[in-house]
Amino acid sequence: MKKALGRIAAAAVVATVGLAVAPAPASAAGETLFVYVDEAWGGPGYKVTGALPDLAPHNINDKITSLKVQLGCWRLFADANYRGDSISYYTGWVQTNLGYDGLNDRVSSIKPC
């Protein structure tokens, strides 16, 4: 059974099971990042449209393996609250495995640059 793409939106956080959790602050208009739990955009995916200081409540802490930046600049951090190792990705960037950047299954917070 193919799972629908989950969504982490400015208005609410929605996981692949459709559970709404907490609001996330909005980013600049249209900035969008897609993150996936498996290599090469496989497994459950999530749409990020705002800052997320802690991924644990969204059940994707230390689970992100690949990404696609649809629009904007996004910074991923190894620790919650935008701390630890980090790297920025820009519009059009695709990464099949964050292990190449040392962040595979280590991302704990995300925010627009």
- Asked if 110 and 49 touch (Cβ cutoff 8 Å), the reply is no
The confidence score (pLDDT) of residue 35 equals 97
Q: What does the radius of gyration of the chain's CA atoms come to, in whole angstroms?
A: 12
Out of 1.10.287.3510, 1.20.1290.10, 1.20.120.450, 2.60.20.10, select the CATH number for domain 7-112: 2.60.20.10
The confidence score (pLDDT) of residue 30 equals 85
Report how far apart, in Å, the C-alpha atoms of 107 and of each of 1, 22, 30 are: 27, 19, 22
The confidence score (pLDDT) of residue 101 equals 94
Question: What residue segments make up the domains of the chain, in order of their start?
Answer: 7-112
The model's pTM is 0.75
Tens place of pLDDT for every residue, the chain, 113 residues?
A: 333 333 333 322 323 322 223 334 445 678 999 999 999 998 899 999 999 999 999 999 999 999 999 999 999 999 999 999 999 999 999 999 999 999 999 999 999 99
The confidence score (pLDDT) of residue 24 equals 43
